Amino acid sequence: MTNHRLSPQTINDPLVKIRGVTFRRGTRLIFDNVDIDIARGKITAIMGPSGCGKTTMLRIIGGQLRPDSGSVVVDGHEVPALSRRALFTLRKRMGMLFQSGALLTDLNVFDNVAFPLREHTDLPESMIRDLVLMKLEAVGLRGAKHLSPNQLSGGMQRRVALARAIALDPLMIMYDEPFTGQDPISMGVLVRLIKLMKDALGITSIVVSHDVQETASISDYIYVISAGKVVGEGTPETLRNSASEWVRQFMDALPDGPVPFHYPAPDYEEDLLSGGRA
Amino acid sequence: MLESKFVETIVGLFVALGVAALFMLAMKVSNLSSLGEDGGYDVTARFLNIGGLKVRSPVKMAGVVIGRVKDIELDRQSYEAVATLSLASKFDKIPTDTSANIYTAGLLGEQYVSLDPGAEDTFLKDGDRITLTQSAVVLEQLIGRFLYQKAAGDEG
Amino acid sequence: MTQALETLGRAGLRSFERLGRGQIFMAYVLAGIPEIALRWRLVVHQVYAVGVLSLVIIVVSGLFVGMVLGLQGYNTLVDFGAEESLGVLVALSLVRELGPVVSALLFAGRAGSALTAEIGLMKTTEQLSAMEMMAIDPLHRVVAPRFLAGIISMPLLAAMFSAVGVYGGYFIGVGLLGVDEGAFWSQMQDAVDLRDDIFNGVIKSIVFGVAVTWIAVFEGYDTVPTAEGISRATTRTVVNSSLAVLGLDFILTALMFD
């Protein structure tokens, strides 16, 4: 479905190429010289403990944040250098699924999915209707088209948001923590949908998550980020057998390891004896 | 989510109501209906004392507003006040021997210029001067004179 | 002492910074107005939310303010035997001051706070971010129609406030207290000038509309994306826009009725 967009020369190039990206928030270093490749037509996962800046990475790829240094190339375009107009043109080919779904609360399900179509195309209403129903059918919520977003469960909201993200047939979709806070059934549905998007539509997917099992089950390639650096990468199998302490701690969910259990603090005994002077 | 048509109709009504309110203010509350702003002609009148007359005070004839005071100056030679009256062009048959008086509307009301028509066959034109004038009645003077006469009367 | 000065200085700098950001924000919003004017339906829906939904409070308040003016004015004027000037007093107070000012204050409380909360909530729930990722500029799609709707609604609401208020005063003065009806209207018409009073009042309400809506949409867009942030932004909208209305009213009055 999306293959017509790929010329033979570019087909083996990664869709997204991140090189030497450094990003600071205030004085805190979020990313330190990070390199990531996102292969076309594959599901690539970016994993890491909470607060390590995974979502920030998606925003950098989408051009909402600008890295302090380094290059981010999406489909041949250097994102941080793009003008606003060019960036918007590029974004029409990127979908993003926010953690909360981020549906427009003043529109119903149907209008939410129709929103990007109405904003960006001059299609007649009858065609928009067909397209929207197709997308909703794909996520299994065609029957919910008249409901308003706050009548839906969190998992269903994400599915509607997914239908909206694929409304313009994008090259890639970025999933921000798609499994967080879902019951096992919704989680299973989302896992299946993400896989379906790749298999049926050939959409390149970037999944940011800390849910190891689910993510590993669908990913083709995984990057593990911790403390601003890529500490491990490879296929799910390679990572499971990785010798790296960082990767081990994360994949096996160990409470203490390179990511310490304790927040950095002065010596415990000293702190207690200082009598509140510190 | 409300039906689009419904919202649009209501908003249409809302705007119509707002415009109607503005129209009501213009027609019923203000003096738009009585006088046009421009297209009039100017005549001057000299007074020894204009009292509380101000620019934009009304000019009336037989109680009907026919114009406004446009400008008030002091003649540096004669020490008279020169008031320029702007009269609406539809009142163009005002005799040249018309007299101008400054009256007060009620005891505490604002002062206005009242024109009493004369009998001449020639009419006032732009730039003409009204020669017959009577100054404003200043309340203090009036009371003073009244008290003086009263005192004189009591003696005699 | 030094610390107090330091705090004061920092607060001052922060307000200047916000003012600057507010202006840049406004420039982006204004850039979106021509595009949004073509999609008038978006504006119409916002006029509904901003204007029509404020109608009841404006009309009811206008009626009561007019009736209070009628009562108070009558009680004062009757001592001087000048109760026939009641129409003048009611109309001038409403058209020059109370209409634009009170309706702008009510507008800030009713529509301004709602605008801030709505945009702030859209930001908090990542709806604005999502729009940006869909290549839709939320400043043009979300903020510009709301801003335009505020500017359109404010003078209409103020005019309705004044008109209803005049009738409120008429109802009390003529209907209940027995002021002569003819004198009520004719003295009013004599004293109220279309350009000096009514036109200036409309200009005031347009300026207030711009100020209140600008503050409301900016505070919403600038919200710290948390529940607490929204409530603080809403409060700031009401406080700042009320202050702005009263301050601007003084400046405009000084310029208009010197």
> The dihedral of CA A249, A253, A257, A263: what is its sign?
positive
**What are the pLDDT digits (tens) for A224-269?**
888 788 888 888 888 888 777 777 777 777 777 777 777 778 888 8
The pLDDT of residue A48 is 81
The pLDDT of residue B50 is 84
Structure tokens given for C71? 């009562």
Residue B153 has pLDDT above 50, yes or no: yes
The pLDDT of residue B2 is 56
CA distances (Å), origin B57, targets B66, B89, B140: 11, 18, 22
Please, which pLDDT band fits residue A277 given cuts at 50, 70 and 90?
low
Of the spans B60-74, B106-120, C206-220, which averages the highest pLDDT?
C206-220
* Cα A90 from Cα A77, distance rounded (Å): 8
**What are the pLDDT digits (tens) for B30-41?**
766 555 455 688
- Among the residues of A179-265, which ranges form H helices? 184-201, 212-218, 236-240, 245-251
**What are the pLDDT digits (tens) for C147-166?**
999 999 999 999 999 999 99
Of the spans C1-15, C190-204, C230-244, which averages the highest pLDDT?
C230-244
**Segment B75-96 mean pLDDT:** 87
Any chains having at least 3 CB pairs less than 8 A from chain A are B, C
* Cα B137 from Cα B114, distance rounded (Å): 13
Chain C residues closer than 8 Å to B106 by CB: 82
C139 has a chain B CB within 8 A of its CB: no
The pLDDT of residue C168 is 95
Contact assignment for B14 to C51 by CB distance below 8 Å = yes
Please, which pLDDT band fits residue C116 given cuts at 50, 70 and 90?
very high
User: Is residue C157 within 8 Å of C212, Cβ to Cβ?
Assistant: no
Min Cα–Cα distance to chain A from C127, Å: 5
| Cβ neighbours for A223, distance < 8 A, ≥ 6 positions apart | A36, A44, A45, A46, A47, A230, A232, A233
Residue A177 has pLDDT above 50, yes or no: yes
The pLDDT of residue A259 is 72
The pLDDT of residue C103 is 96
CA distances (Å), origin A188, targets A20, A218, A254, C191: 35, 11, 25, 76
Contact assignment for A64 to C129 by CB distance below 8 Å = yes
More confident residue, C154 or A197: C154
Structure tokens given for C5? 């000065």
Residue B156 has pLDDT above 80, yes or no: no
User: Chain C residues with CB-CB distance to A under 8 A?
Assistant: 121-122, 125-127, 129-137, 141
C82 has a chain B CB within 8 A of its CB: yes
Contact assignment for C81 to B15 by CB distance below 8 Å = no
CA angle C23–C28–C30, rounded 5-degree value: 90
More confident residue, C221 or A29: C221
Structure tokens given for B21? 């309110």
Residue A201 has pLDDT above 70, yes or no: yes
* Cα A227 from Cα A245, distance rounded (Å): 13
Question: What is the helix (H) or strand (E) element at residue A143, kind and residue range?
Answer: none
C112 CB neighbour count, 10 Å cutoff: 31
Structure tokens given for C168? 């409120």
Residue B145 has pLDDT above 50, yes or no: yes
Q: Find residues 61-90 of chain A whose CB sits inside 8 Å of chain C.
A: 62, 64, 88-89
- Please provide the average confidence, as pLDDT, over all residues in chain C: 91
3 state SS of B119: coil
User: Is residue B67 within 8 Å of B87, Cβ to Cβ?
Assistant: yes
A147 has a chain B CB within 8 A of its CB: no
User: Is residue B136 within 8 Å of B49, Cβ to Cβ?
Assistant: yes
Structure tokens given for C177? 């207290």
Q: Find residues 35-74 of chain C whose CB sits inside 8 Å of chain B.
A: 41, 44-45, 47-48, 51-52, 55
Min Cα–Cα distance to chain C from B152, Å: 32
The pLDDT of residue B37 is 52
Residue C231 has pLDDT above 80, yes or no: yes
The pLDDT of residue B155 is 62
Which residue in A88, A104, A164 is closest to C135 by CB distance? A88
Min Cα–Cα distance to chain A from C121, Å: 10
The pLDDT of residue B1 is 46
Percent of chain A with pLDDT over 90: 6
Cα distance from N-terminal residue to C-terminal residue, chain A: 63
Q: Taking phi first (over 0 means left), then psi (-120 to 50 degrees means alpha), and beta for anything else, what does residue B102 get?
A: beta
The pLDDT of residue B108 is 64
**Segment A84-109 mean pLDDT:** 87
Min Cα–Cα distance to chain A from B1, Å: 7
Kindly provide the residue ranges of all beta strands, DSSP E only, lying in A133-203, ordered along the sequence: 172-176
* Cα A92 from Cα A169, distance rounded (Å): 9
The pLDDT of residue A102 is 86
The pLDDT of residue C121 is 93
Taking Cα atoms as reference points, which of A75, A61, A74 lies closest to residue A31?
A61
User: Is residue A10 within 8 Å of A76, Cβ to Cβ?
Assistant: yes
Asked which of A19-23, B22-26, C50-54, C187-191 is least confident by mean pLDDT, the reply is C187-191
Residue B112 has pLDDT above 80, yes or no: yes
**What are the pLDDT digits (tens) for C124-143?**
988 998 998 888 888 888 99
Contact assignment for B25 to C80 by CB distance below 8 Å = no
Chain B residues closer than 8 Å to C152 by CB: 15
Strands B111-116 and B58-61: parallel
**What are the pLDDT digits (tens) for C70-80?**
999 999 988 88
Which residue in A104, A120, A161 is closest to C135 by CB distance? A120
- Please provide the average confidence, as pLDDT, over all residues in chain A: 84
The pLDDT of residue A2 is 43
